[in-house]
Amino acid sequence: MYMKRKQSIVIGIITLIIVLIFFGASRFARHQEIKDAENLLERQLPPETKLPTTNYSLLTTKEVNLPVPFTVQAPYGDWGMPYKEACEEASALMAIRYVFGNNIEDKEDADSAIKDLLRANEVILEYPVDQTLEQVKDLIIEIDTNIPVRIIEDPEVSDLKDELAVGNVIIVPTAGRELKNPFYTQPGPMYHMLVLRGYTEDGYFITNDPGTKRGEGYLYKFERIMNAMHDWNDGDVASGGKRVLVVDPL
């Protein structure tokens, strides 16, 4: 009886050792498989996308629609001067109210604020009615030096999406007629600014376009915005540089 118990104990110990060896080998093999897979991934990815990464384009949300308040540049429907040329001021107003988390309450509020910006451009900065993107940057800084604002030269669609995905709003100067907006008074403005507030998964930028009362959340194909993007360039807009103004929330 004693011998049988002793044999059972020995068999149990041997079985336990075999099980431990088996699971240890399995865990080692699994660990090696994972490591081999990671090494293969690293070899297949180009250097700029190797993990870990801070490249926003790998993390960009499929769709973004920021709560940017809207105003048309002619709040009361008067498209004479100065409202005819107030797209820069209207775009700046929408961006400024967004970064402070403030709404544009009504037509009276929009009209008063646009007039204030027009006066700042004319009297303080002494800028002409058509402004470059750099001058719009100066206008925003004149309103509040704490607003983070910067220009990006020659942006790609992915650059714009990355900025929007982290909550930044974008002002875009354009050769307005290249936007082909059917709601503009035709043939459309030679030079125009609008605000990018988001993008869709199927290839559209969501804009606040002050050039039409229907401009809130107006959709333009990525390619339409990128092709129309041109700075003032002393009136030779079609040859103007491709750049955008990024305004970060405070």
Task: Confirm if 222 and 201 have CB atoms less than 8 A apart.
Answer: no
Helix intervals (H) in 56-173: 87-100, 107-119, 133-143, 157-165
The pLDDT of residue 15: 55
Residue with structure tokens 């199927």? 202
State the virtual CA torsion across 135, 138, 143, 145 in degrees, nearest 10. Answer: 160
The pLDDT of residue 152: 98
Tens of pLDDT along the chain (250 residues) come to 444 444 555 455 555 555 444 444 444 444 444 344 334 333 333 333 333 333 444 445 899 999 999 999 999 999 999 999 999 999 999 999 999 999 999 999 999 999 999 999 999 999 999 999 999 999 999 999 999 999 999 999 999 999 999 999 999 999 999 999 999 999 999 999 999 999 999 999 999 999 999 999 999 999 999 999 999 999 999 999 999 999 999 8
CA distance 120 to 122: 6
- The residues that bridge with 169 in the sheet, in sequence order, are 247
Domains parsed from the chain with CATH numbers: 65-247 (3.90.70.10)
**Structure pTM?**
0.77
